[in-house]
Structure 1
């Protein structure tokens, strides 16, 4: 996300922010356990999901490969449904692969609000 510790990974590859968006109300947001930089995990949940704030970025196609190599499990790229009906490629967590100790932070509505609460 813009201005957060991992943002240089996008910027150094020519990425730029297009817009701030919200997901469809079919996701949960988790804070992954572990040291270092805190990482969010967006997980689809049709029954108990909510709309989560996000950012839409553009990345030149020639830099996508090097970007993908640095994404640690359980994160990956997949289709994310937005509140306005669009479907875009974005960070998601593999279904069933989020550690049970991950904290559900969906109630904050977005990653920045969660970080501000810390």
Structure 2
């Protein structure tokens, strides 16, 4: 495949953006299929779907949520919502804002439970 170095570095750089690596491996898969190399096209499509995108979109948020004691759903919503709302910088702002809001909500709920009289 021509440009293998670019095809290797491209997903690495685009992995900073959610859903970035498919911008490289989907066209490469289509190109292989267009050339008639169906075996490699199927392999690259499966590799990109399960290995590259699986790690990028499932494993990274899971590890982030474990490191910060946040639910995985909060991290995923923060990453994708931040990207949609703020662009590239939203990748960092979104999860941070949701983490702060989640912590404040937990403190507020705990404070209200402590103030309620026992019946």
* TM-score interval (norm. to shorter): under 0.3
Q: TM-score, normalised by structure 1?
A: 0.24
More strand by share: 1
Q: TM-score, normalised by structure 2?
A: 0.24
Of structures 1 and 2, the one with the larger relative CO (CA 8 A, separation 6+) is 1
Compare CA radii of gyration and give the structure with the larger one.
Answer: 2
More helix by share: 2
